[in-house]
Structure 1
Amino acid sequence: MGASHSHGTASSKSGTSYVVAEQATSSSAQEFFPVPLEILEEIFLHVPANQVVHVCRLVCSQCKEVADSESLWRERCRREGYNLRDSSKTPEDWRLFYFLCKKRRNLLKNPRGEGKMTGWMIKENGGDGWKLEDVMVPHPNEVVKKNFVTSFQMCTKEQVIDLEKEGYSPTFMDKFKPDIKISDWYAPRWDCGCEYSILVQLLDAKQNVIQSYTPDTVFFDQWNDQEWKQKIHVFRDYRRGVRYIRFSHGGKDTQFWAGWYGIRVTDSSVEICPAVDTYGSMRRSLQPRHVAQLIQDSTSMRAVARRNRLHEDGMRARHPQVGVVQLNTMQGVLAFAREVHTEHVLLPATSSSMTGLAVEQDWKLFYFLSKKRRNLLKNPNGAERLNSWEILRNGGDRWVAKEIRQPHPDETIKANFVTSFEMCIKSQLIDLEKKGYSPSVMDHAQPDIKISDWILTRFDCGGSYDIRVELLDQKKQLIEIFLPETIYRGAGREEWKQITYVFHKYGPGVRYIQFTHGGKDLRWWKGHFGIHITGSSVELFPTLDTQTTYVVGGIHLTCAY
């Protein structure tokens, strides 16, 4: 299977070329890979969504049926947290609902003032002009810490959003007319009256007005409660031709006091989203070509690049001799799921070559192991401080959880654990049966157990790092252990490094996993200058192949069994 084709396009990412045939040949169309539809759906759930529509869907009628199914896109929405506001109203096109939710974001730049006045065009700057201040009273959104403040004469500012540059093509906007949701937060000072106004316009290609939202000016009396108020509006069923959105707001105080006693504004937003109350705007079926218009290549390529960086750092393919993954056959779809989404590897292999990829005999067991895969460690990133961890050693100024110093390859990770000038060690004991892995499953299936940890040292102080992971029996006696040598990292470039290891063919009897790690700084500096740790994980999944690959200190090692 997987015959080569002379036509198609190829792009190279991290040494692997992904070849997409423009049209399946008659030979590939006749190929049949006996994969149950529910398994194929599970595989597609781990393949990039635009690839499912553009590539996997074209492989065969079986793939097309799954790629077009309501259940696939409904489940994708559920897993990624795209929930319905009103569960009694369901989309007629779950695929469109998914892609609109996926792309949904605030199109305004610098809405909360963290970047001072960057991104805003000042239209009026009366009195003492616009100013940026910390919020006087807490905002309902706890991450909002700053607001823009007006003065004693009119202050207005605006942004013009180019929808095509933001990834919403003219064809898409005209055909689907998605909801455009406007939101703005404003508040007065308690001791000074003020006024607030907002104007939002939908514009055509020549920036002529198609539709406007211009509510009455809001006035606040002196001696008010200074609470935050929200202004919300949703544009629906607007006529064709919308290419730009102009967002303008502002105000002033009404006491004519020198300084900044006028209206405060912050957390403004403009979002393209699925219909809020009714899904009438989604009654037209979303075709693959419209997905291309909705999901721009630049966005997709950035996502692929991020995955490939993870792939290089700690999840290198076990079959480096495979240079091309074909996406125009069922064999290629399975290989693609394995190679591109290695962090969600679903497919078992029983040979040392990708071309010899075999299908797991027990599909039911394979399916449920894949479905159940998750991180078994609690609080792996320090988002809940030190909850769920047992502190074994707490030297120096002790463990602390704080915001990360450098962006992590996983953009969702915002915190880490930091060690001090004497050894700090913490641990978690995982009870596999309580996590849903019965003794019979562990003894019969012996799923691979993958360990992963991310570490970083400060630029000005080196650190040491230790990790110990033990597989234990019912009496918590040792069965197998991962205990690499201590890693020493000197001061220098602050860069996240990943340590990974896979327990494979460890034998029957495993009931617990003990995960222990820690470290300290190398200069004995007071405070928290030691090793930074985050993104720790322990996962169980179907056996991948007959090799175990692990990475220590950026070095990839492979052990054959």
Structure 2
Amino acid sequence: MSASEWKKRCEDEWGLGGTAMPDRLDWKSAYEAKPFGRNLLKNPAPHGLSKDTPPPEPEMPDSPSHGPPRFQPEGDFSGWTTNTEVLPYDTSSIPEGAVICALPQYSWFSLKQTVDLKAEGLWEELLDDFQPEIVIQDWYEESQLHQSIFQLHVKLLGTDKSSVISEHSVNPTEDLSTYSHTWKQVSHVFSGYGPGVRYIHFLHKLKNQFMMSFYPTMFTGSSVMVRPIKTSS
């Protein structure tokens, strides 16, 4: 097809309501990039798990591990930048004079990615004027590991990757009185966020525990999607 035919195809299929479709763009490449309705994050399930199947029950070892403490889970984390933060022991609830045999030690395992929206097939007029919905989803493993086992921080960034145009953070508190061991969903929709957005910074943190053995908090189905829909803020 000709350049104008590719542009018309994009106009017809995406239905962006009169948003500027500049001739300078390679509309064939834009169409093939499928910028709408697909997950823009790389490697959204590093543990090889699906939210449609319950998370595996933690393995209880017959005997304590005799190796060094472990603070990072196993998985293929390609596409993510990762970091491990080992937390100090919490002794606040231990009575004075009590004999301590073992204490759990916790760590935060953080994973982050930055999505370049223009590289994914979106264009400036669309992002600045139409401001399509940006949908964030994540799923983490419910457990009784600790009251706080998951954090999510998402920022919409400008051209310089340092100016924050909009952001959303989640830090849920777990109910330790019940145990269903399912996936818990976290989601958010950015809309009406203003002009200038060019990047999305996605970061989540999951808490792990080591006490004789290692107990991680798993996640799956992380996603960032752009929808050709405009809603008010």
Same fold (TM over 0.5): yes
Q: What is the identity, as a one-letter code, of the residue corresponding to 2:189?
A: V
Determine the structure 1 residue equivalent to 2:203: 248
| Alpha-carbon distance in 1 for matches of 2:159, 2:168 | 19
User: How does 1:155-304 map onto structure 2 within 5 Å?
Assistant: 155-189=109-143, 192-193=145-146, 195-207=149-161, 208-221=163-176, 224-253=179-208, 257-275=211-229, 279-280=230-231
| Alpha-carbon distance in 1 for matches of 2:140, 2:179 | 13
String of CA shifts for 1:72-126, please: whole Å, max 9, x gaps. Answer: x5xx68xxxxxxxxxxxxx883999xx8x87321000000114810000013354
CA 1:21–1:209 in 2, change beyond 3 Å: closer, same or farther? closer
TM-score by length of 2: 0.62
User: How does 1:501-540 map onto structure 2 within 5 Å?
Assistant: none
Give the unaligned 5+ runs of structure 2.
21-30, 49-74, 88-104
Offset of residue 210 of structure 1 = 1.1
Determine the structure 2 residue equivalent to 1:105: 38
User: How does 1:289-368 map onto structure 2 within 5 Å?
Assistant: none
Determine the structure 2 residue equivalent to 1:153: 107
Q: What is the identity, as a one-letter code, of the residue corresponding to 1:175?
A: D
Instruction: Decide which structure has the larger Cα Rg and report it.
Output: 1
Q: What is the identity, as a one-letter code, of the residue corresponding to 2:6?
A: N
User: How does 1:50-61 map onto structure 2 within 5 Å?
Assistant: 50=6, 52-53=8-9
Structure 1 stretches of at least 4 aligned residues deviating more than 6 Å after TM superposition: none
Give the unaligned 5+ runs of structure 1.
1-17, 23-48, 55-67, 78-90, 128-150, 282-561
Determine the structure 1 residue equivalent to 2:65: none
String of CA shifts for 1:388-409, please: whole Å, max 9, x gaps. Answer: xxxxxxxxxxxxxxxxxxxxxx
TM-score by length of 1: 0.28
Q: What is the identity, as a one-letter code, of the residue corresponding to 1:93?
A: G
| Alpha-carbon distance in 1 for matches of 2:3, 2:188 | 45
| Alpha-carbon distance in 1 for matches of 2:111, 2:220 | 12
Q: Secondary structure at the match of 1:221?
A: coil
Offset of residue 184 of structure 1 = 0.4
8 Å CA contact 1:182, 1:232 repeated in 2:
yes
Q: Which moved more, 1:118-127 or 1:163-172?
A: 118-127
String of CA shifts for 1:249-292, please: whole Å, max 9, x gaps. Answer: 01214x653544242211000000033xxx546xxxxxxxxxxx
State the identity as a percent. Answer: 30
Q: What is the identity, as a one-letter code, of the residue corresponding to 1:110?
A: N
String of CA shifts for 1:418-463, please: whole Å, max 9, x gaps. Answer: xxxxxxxxxxxxxxxxxxxxxxxxxxxxxxxxxxxxxxxxxxxxxx
8 Å CA contact 1:152, 1:260 repeated in 2:
no
User: How does 1:35-184 map onto structure 2 within 5 Å?
Assistant: 50=6, 52-53=8-9, 73=12, 93=17, 103-113=36-46, 114=48, 116-126=76-86, 152-184=106-138
Q: Give aligned pairs, total.
A: 175
| Alpha-carbon distance in 2 for matches of 1:175, 1:51 | 18
Offset of residue 223 of structure 1 = 5.7
Q: What is the identity, as a one-letter code, of the residue corresponding to 2:181?
A: Q
Which structure has more helix as a fraction of its residues? 1
C-alpha root-mean-square deviation of aligned residues, in Å? 3.5
